[in-house]
Amino acid sequence: MPELPEVEQVRISLLPHIKGKTICKTEVRLPRMIKHPSVPEFMAGVEGKRVTDITRKGKYLTLMLDDGRYIMVHLRMTGALLILPRDFQEPPFAKIRFSLTGGLDLWFTDIRTFGTLSLCGGNDPWQDKGYAGLGPEPLSQEFTEEYLKEKLKNSHQMIKSFLLDQHKIAGLGNIYADEALAMAGIRPTRFTDKLTRMQMRALHEAVNLVIAQGLKNHGTTFRNYQDADGHMGNNKDFLMVYGRKGMPCKTCGTALKQIKVAGRGSVYCPHCQK
DNA sequence: CCGTCCTCCTGGCCGC
DNA sequence: TGCGGCCAGGAGGACG
């Protein structure tokens, strides 16, 4: 499940292949993945346009086009963007194909088909609500310790729910939320306004650290995630808790517990996390 | 405002 | 071996 580090790795691996290339032809095999506008408008709007850059905020990717409009992509659970030579064997679960100048195809593949694409900008006032409401990203200038403390104090919810809320912090998903809590020594069920100043400080540092580590390791490949070149990330080996239910805590050896918080499996160490 | 439950979806895994 | 059932979860919406 691509979170900030995985989406960033997709951006980095994709950029050199498609920057400056023109989309000559599109093929939409699963229309409902086009969130906005209609499929014909989407196709007509992107064909003949040159991709000038790719940006990312949170888990959203934005392919900038040379007419000022842009394609906004969300990979959700199992979406992937793959670059393959034209008329190479097509990838499994292929849902959308962008044929580019220079003999390459950009494929959007998706097993569970939750991924979305939109065409925005120009004269079209439509905005993606999820994107518009994104909070600051970890490691950004806006994501200060003060910002986090303020938000934590002013909300009354379980910390796991808080970390998954993209309005509060953009880019964390289930993996990095659990990892940040493990590193900060905080239980997923703790209420945000009951955290000590020390815990808030530790959490701010932990969020930045787990994201930085994920970026450094080119993302976490647990099941399906791969970058535009089909490469896996190797951050899985560094995870403290995610996917390690029942296994010994890497710090104290206690068996890790799994509970459900905010509808998500949440793994933590009952000894190290208070 | 917040939690819970539900929806979208399918591969993979478990138990019988 | 085969099959039913359950699990994985990003985001958004209904409901209490």
A21 among known catalytic residues: no
A59 among known catalytic residues: yes
Q: Is the CB of A263 under 7 A from strand C?
A: yes
**Which residue is catalytic, options A50, A201, A264, A270?**
A264
C-alpha to C-alpha distance for A105 and A26, rounded to whole angstroms? 10
State CA A228 to chain mean position distance: 14
- What is the predicted pLDDT for the residue at A223? 77
Mean pLDDT, rounded, for A158-175? 95
Q: Is the CB of A125 under 7 A from strand B?
A: no
How does the average pLDDT of chain A come out, rounded? 95
The integer distance in angstroms from the CA atom of A55 to the C1' atom of B13 is: 37
Percent of chain A scored above 90 by pLDDT?
Answer: 92
Tokens of A62: 């934005």
For tokens 């593949």, what's the residue?
Answer: A109
Strand extents, DSSP E, A69-227: 70-74, 79-85, 94-100, 104-110, 116-120
Scanning every strand, the nucleotide with its C1' closest to A167's CA turns out to be C11
pLDDT grade, residue A49 (50/70/90)?
Answer: very high
- Give yes or no for a contact between A134 and A167, defined as CB atoms under 8 angstroms apart: yes
- What is the predicted pLDDT for the residue at A235? 92
The integer distance in angstroms from the CA atom of A261 to the C1' atom of B5 is: 13
- What is the predicted pLDDT for the residue at A222? 79
Q: What is the pLDDT of residues A59-72, one digit of tens each?
A: 999 999 999 999 99
- What is the predicted pLDDT for the residue at A270? 94
- What is the predicted pLDDT for the residue at A262? 86
A2 among known catalytic residues: yes
Q: Is the CB of A259 under 7 A from strand B?
A: no
User: Which stretch of A28-32, A175-179, A263-267 has the lowest confidence by average pLDDT?
Assistant: A263-267
**Which residue is catalytic, options A3, A6, A8, A137?**
A3
DSSP assigned state of A254: P
pLDDT of A35 above 80? yes
Mean pLDDT, rounded, for A45-70? 97
Mean pLDDT, rounded, for A76-95? 93
- Give yes or no for a contact between A127 and A134, defined as CB atoms under 8 angstroms apart: no
pLDDT of A224 above 80? no
Nearest one of A242, A253, A130 to A188, comparing CA atoms: A242
- What is the predicted pLDDT for the residue at A263? 85
State CA A166 to chain mean position distance: 10
Mean pLDDT, rounded, for A197-210? 97
pLDDT grade, residue A232 (50/70/90)?
Answer: confident
Q: Is the CB of A77 under 7 A from strand C?
A: yes
pLDDT grade, residue A190 (50/70/90)?
Answer: very high
Percent of chain A scored above 70 by pLDDT?
Answer: 100
Q: What is the pLDDT of residues A119-166, one digit of tens each?
A: 999 999 999 999 999 999 999 999 999 999 999 999 999 999 999 999
Scanning every strand, the nucleotide with its C1' closest to A166's CA turns out to be C11
For the entire predicted model, the pTM comes to: 0.96
pLDDT of A206 above 90? yes
- What is the predicted pLDDT for the residue at A172? 96
